[in-house]
Chain A
């Protein structure tokens, strides 16, 4: 850090994603830091802020303007492309997340999979690309704008239902691979659309989570697909998988992804040992117990633990609870800056 000239937020984030020197560790939000209080501040409440580009941009930019993060991430939810694929969505109210009605799956077989011709012009995907355009126009090269495109494993849960998709992966691996291969078009097309709209990096959530899927599963079903995403989406990609994932971090580090957004169920130092500087790590401030339920001191302690371990970008482990206190979120960049000074 010493000897590195002062960087803009965007420069800082992009350098950290390449594991290049930075003036300080960036504070990054690969998922969502939207809260009900921030919605009120800028009059951009859920569910409208998931569906109207100006509201989406206005709520997203509070990450930079109010909280002091180095990134702006307008794609709060994980359902935008599933909506465009035809899934039924429960849009909920201001204080809750929109969700896919996974008990009403839209596909049963690989042959059912069709990416609709209006996939990228559907209001719920176009909202994202329009919001990214608005943010790039507003912030230019000042701050990193991060987009999000869901991976095929997550889309599989949404479109087939969690249980049927997991059972298929056990009973018929070839069919599962065929399904993933067909769904990947949605991931790639939506990712490219966001790159063209001006995204500086993309989060790619693919919920092969530690509770349901083993590290071996990751290698069998997803590693090669993720390598392909790196080849075809030509900006830094931040892979996001919740839960205990240290058993698959070695595989993830072989994909060429720029970064892995990791969960607080994984120890920072152990995770760094596994990835061996082949990939950056982003995270891993605990959401339910720390950011949501404790105070700034506890947040600071977790930030420092990550910084001490050499984590490349600091941020919450996942999309934060919508009732999280603003003071806790502001503590993340404050703690990073003070740690850097000392």
Chain B
């Protein structure tokens, strides 16, 4: 019976990898005594698949500060799961062009909407302050938008009313690389959510009466 063993819970799927022969690639979460660990897996057996899985794993390590451990699983150094952030890290790592070396993102980004440069200032124990440089009437609103985006994308804690410029990884660990990765999408989190919704809705069969085409 079957070749599909127990890989854990699939928490994310890229249905077609644009960089490698349109294969599907899943991110699976496994629980163990060592804490939650992540497995990158494809059911494809096309030539070169193992190399592609290794490259995505290496990109996750570089872009998100996750570690590859002896059992082959990826784990964050804090021992926590950070599932939402890990899903984002996985998606960004699959998108990473294989022809470029992945590099950790800086804690700074140009916010195209306001023209401000948004930065993350690491404080301590996993806390980051969202700051900005430049002139714009929307400074405070953009700071709150970016902080809120980080909270949504990575399940960071954020108190919009009392400290709208502070976000914190609940584990208290300084996930600097991960913060930099999340910062890229944080100014436009609605677009990310729309993209996620659109990707998820592909492949859902509608009755003829519900079809748009």
Contacts and interface: CB of A to CB of B under 8 A. Distances in A.
A100 B202 CA distance: 16
Given A45-B22, A327-B9, A157 B43 contact: no
Contacts of A322: 15, 202-204
Contacts of A288: 204
A67 to B, nearest CB: 8
Nearest to B41: A37
A38 B43 contact: yes
Contact of A95 (B3, B42, B203, B205): B203
Interface of A is mostly: loop
B208 A154 contact: yes
Interface string A58-100: 0000000111100000000010000000000010011111011
Interface in A147-163: 154, 157-158, 162
Given A40-B24, A45-B22, A209-B207, A99 B213 contact: yes
20 contacts: A36-B13, A39-B24, A68-B1, A68-B2, A93-B16, A93-B22, A95-B15, A100-B213, A103-B213, A157-B208, A318-B205, A321-B203, A322-B15, A322-B203, A322-B204, A323-B13, A323-B200, A323-B202, A325-B26, A327-B7
B208 A102 contact: yes
Interface in B196-213: 200, 202-205, 207-211, 213
Given A318-B205, A321-B204, A94 B4 contact: no
B44 interface: yes
B99 interface: no
B23 interface: yes
A288 B42 CA distance: 23
B194 to A, nearest CB: 17
A191 B69 CA distance: 55
Interface of A: 32, 36-41, 43, 45, 65-68, 78, 90, 93-97, 99-103, 154, 157-158, 162, 207, 209, 211-212, 242-243, 287-288, 292, 295, 318-319, 321-323, 325-327, 330
A158 B42 CA distance: 36
B208 A65 contact: no
A211 B209 CA distance: 9
Contacts of B46: 43
Interface of B: 1-4, 6-7, 9-10, 13, 15-16, 22-24, 26, 42-46, 200, 202-205, 207-211, 213
A109 B9 CA distance: 52
A94 B22 contact: yes
B2 A66 contact: yes
A331 B205 CA distance: 21
B213 A326 contact: no
A321 B204 CA distance: 4
Contact of A207 (B4, B10, B24, B209): B209
A146 to B, nearest CB: 17
Nearest to A324: B203
A100 B208 contact: yes
A67 B24 CA distance: 18
Contacts of B13: 36-37, 323, 325
Contacts of B7: 327
A81 B207 CA distance: 16
B15 A97 contact: no
A288 B205 CA distance: 10
A162 B209 contact: yes
Given A95-B203, A243-B207, A321-B205, A43 B213 contact: no
A38 to B, nearest CB: 7
Closest 9 CB pairs between A and B?
A322-B203, A95-B15, A40-B44, A157-B208, A41-B43, A36-B24, A40-B43, A319-B205, A325-B10
Given A37-B43, A38-B43, A94 B15 contact: yes
Contacts of B202: 95-96, 322-323
Given A36-B15, A37-B24, A211-B209, A96 B43 contact: no
Given A40-B23, A102-B211, 19 more contacts: A39-B24, A40-B44, A41-B43, A45-B22, A66-B3, A78-B205, A78-B208, A95-B16, A95-B203, A97-B203, A102-B208, A157-B209, A162-B211, A207-B208, A242-B207, A288-B204, A323-B200, A327-B7, A327-B10
Contact of A66 (B4, B45, B200, B211): B4
Contact of B2 (A32, A65, A157): A65
A74 to B, nearest CB: 16
Contacts of B2: 65-68
Of B3, B200, B208, most buried by chain A (CB within 10 Å of CB) is B208
Nearest to A41: B43
Contacts of B3: 41, 66
A45 B16 CA distance: 11
